[in-house]
Amino acid sequence: MIVEDLLRVEDLRLGLAWGPPELLARQVTGVTSTDLQDPARYLQPGELVLSGLVWWQPDHPSAAALALRFATSLRSAGVAALLAGEGTHGEVPAGLVEACRVHGIPLFSVPAGTSFRAVTDRIYLRLWGDLQARSDGAAAVPETARRELVELMYAGAPAGVVLGRAVSRLGCGPCSLVSASGRTIATSPGAVDPDPEAVRRALPTAGGDASGGGASGGDLPLGSAALAIGAPGESPFDGWYLYPHTDAAAGAATVLHGLADLLATLWTRTRAEAADSRRAAGRLAALLTADAAAHPAELAEAVASCGLPPNAPLVPVVARIDGVDAPWAADALAEALRAATGNQFAVGADEVGRAVAVVVCDVPDELTARLREVWPRLQARLPDRHLLRAGVGPRGDGPRTELAAGLKQARYALEVAASAGPRACSVGASSELTSLAALVRGVPAEVAAAFRRRLLEPLAEHDRSTGGALLSTLVTFLDHDCSWARTAESLHVHVNTVHYRIRRIEELTDRDLGRLDDRLDLRAALLCGPA
């Protein structure tokens, strides 16, 4: 297939925005969808790139530079052409056309009524029709079996049916299709779904090696290992893998690799569907996180466009990855929700790249528990310094405008979980914010530190200069419910000493420990950091 063939697929209604004949003769090796500003490291030479242009900011003072940066990234990856969706901005920006002309990248427009899934399906149908035997002359999958499986996939057969037919025809032993979290997508008939933890150990890492001793390329070793389906995804969370249940004999290794390549059609279709859903969910996320409250009718329409039931209870969930600027959190959260629950959901991104999800759910605490079960397997896909965090908000049964308030609670729950440190649970829940200590943990670190200094620095300075113990006395006094006798007993001092120290604390802090409000102020300050 060459780039020019795109113009002959009439039902897609693609338009040529720029591209001379010599560039339209480029060979096409595949297709990938991305909305990253700099996607070069995730692209393969000869690929067609589909982009909804979410990264484009027409009012940005450096809009032309944004387009040039994107085109430069495509050129460095050696892509065959760019297919730009008109759904986000209504047209292909003139600045992007010029950037593609400068870098020699053919540019096609995808009308708003044409889904990326339809484009991807038609391209891969043509590519698979052109598929030839491997260069060494030994086809990994026999031609008759390949044709049969391709016909099944393009007839819309479920993944389980395709995998079952493949295993039956190729005799390669029981296999499963699995995801990055170890979730089983499909298993061949008669076989039991594999253990998610065993799958996780067999998955290739982001660097390409299997985390449990397997491999992602070359001949499959005798030990079980998961093979990547198709080209690597943009993030460690959005791929499919072929997982053989038993050791692969040397003769079956080539067949398994060929089957993994062939099943890329299924993965590509799913990826295109997810891209369409992500765009709709992104609009909902933008409405929920906007400074001005969205109109209820607009919110209801955005919820409906995500395919969510109109009157179902919805729970907001947010996620982020500390130390990663790529938008991987949305892929991670979507995979976590698929693995943790069968409920409907929509996942998009907010204005700063955090993942925002809305989940059809009756009991948020159950959702939190299921996410916590799958979270370690997702975290294992990242280096230790990159921590995956999430927050689960309350259930909203009333007007959809409640979702924005619930989303704020979910964000706060995420911050509380993050403040507990790297070894603590990384999934927080708004329902668990039931104490002053929990509430204070979500306060931004800079704000908490400043509040603590304002209230407690006079005591700390006194203790440093005199060798006194006012701070420790305050902690003990509050811990013992302001009991003079029990405080004295705990500190092993006379009760008069406690009276003297408390009076001194009150003088230095300008607080009256006989008043509840003042006691709460000092307790909150103590909770805002280490002594």
In a domain, 274, yes or no: no
The number of distinct structural domains making up the chain is 4
Residue 137 confidence (pLDDT): 33
Residues 161 and 210 in one domain: yes
Residues 450 and 431 in one domain: no
In a domain, 272, yes or no: no
Query: What backbone torsions phi and psi does residue 35 show, to the nearest 5 degrees?
Result: -125, 25
Residues 161 and 103 in one domain: no
Specify whether the CB–CB gap between 17 and 107 falls below 8 A: yes
Mean per-residue pLDDT, 245-271: 76
Q: How confident is the model at residue 424 (pLDDT cuts 50, 70, 90)?
A: low
Task: Say whether pLDDT at 86 is over 90.
Answer: yes
Residue 43's domain spans which residues? 3-125
In a domain, 270, yes or no: no
Residues 392 and 492 in one domain: no
In a domain, 88, yes or no: yes
Residue 251 confidence (pLDDT): 54
Q: Which pTM does this prediction carry?
A: 0.68
Give the whole-angstrom CA distance, residue 294 versus residue 303: 12
Q: Is the dihedral of CA 446, 451, 452, 458 positive or negative?
A: positive
33-37, 212-216, 376-380: which range is least confident on average? 212-216
Task: Say whether pLDDT at 94 is over 80.
Answer: yes
CA distances from 11 to 122, 311, 487, 513 (A): 10, 36, 81, 77
3-state secondary structure 404-440: HHHHHHHHHHHHHHHHCCCCCCCEEEHHHCCCHHHHH
Task: Tell me the percentage of the chain whose pLDDT exceeds 90.
Answer: 41
Mean per-residue pLDDT, 480-493: 93
Task: Say whether pLDDT at 51 is over 80.
Answer: yes
Residue 476 confidence (pLDDT): 94
Final residue in a domain of this structure, among 435, 470, 505: 435
Residues 339 and 470 in one domain: no
> What are the strands of the beta sheet with 30-33, ordered from one edge?
15-18, 107-110, 81-85, 47-51, 30-33
Euclidean distance between the first and final Cα of the chain, in Å?
68
Q: How confident is the model at residue 212 (pLDDT cuts 50, 70, 90)?
A: very low
In a domain, 236, yes or no: yes
Residues 88 and 65 in one domain: yes
Give the whole-angstrom CA distance, residue 198 versus residue 448: 43
Q: How confident is the model at residue 234 (pLDDT cuts 50, 70, 90)?
A: low
Sorted by sequence, the CB contacts under 8 Å of residue 12 that are 6+ apart come out as 6, 110, 114, 118, 119, 122
Express each pLDDT in 108-160 by its tens digit: 999 998 988 888 877 876 665 554 333 333 356 777 788 888 888 878 889 99
Q: Average pLDDT of the chain?
A: 84
Question: What CATH number is attached to the domain comprising 154?
Answer: 3.30.450
Angle, in degrees to the nearest 10, between helices 143-154 and 159-170 = 170
Residues 429 and 309 in one domain: yes
Mean per-residue pLDDT, 413-434: 83
Q: How confident is the model at residue 220 (pLDDT cuts 50, 70, 90)?
A: very low
Residues 288 and 417 in one domain: yes
- Pairing of the two strands 240-244 and 388-392: unpaired
Mean per-residue pLDDT, 220-226: 54
Final residue in a domain of this structure, among 380, 407, 435: 435
Residues 430 and 400 in one domain: yes
- Residue 169 or 96, more confident: 96
In a domain, 91, yes or no: yes
Residue 463 confidence (pLDDT): 92
In a domain, 271, yes or no: no
Residues 410 and 327 in one domain: yes
Question: What CATH number is attached to the domain comprising 28?
Answer: 3.40.1390.20
Token reading at 82 = 């760019």
Question: What CATH number is attached to the domain comprising 458?
Answer: 1.10.10.2840
DSSP string, 488-502: HHHHTS-HHHHHHHH
Residues 416 and 459 in one domain: no
Final residue in a domain of this structure, among 403, 435, 467: 435
Question: What CATH number is attached to the domain comprising 382?
Answer: 3.30.70.270
Across the chain, which distance is largest between two alpha carbons, in Å? 95
Residue for token digits 């994107």? 70
Sorted by sequence, the CB contacts under 8 Å of residue 242 that are 6+ apart come out as 175, 176, 177, 226, 227, 229, 256, 259, 260, 263
In a domain, 216, yes or no: yes
Residue 221 confidence (pLDDT): 41
Residues 288 and 252 in one domain: no
Specify whether the CB–CB gap between 459 and 471 falls below 8 A: yes
Range among 119-133, 138-152, 208-222, 434-448 rated most confident: 434-448
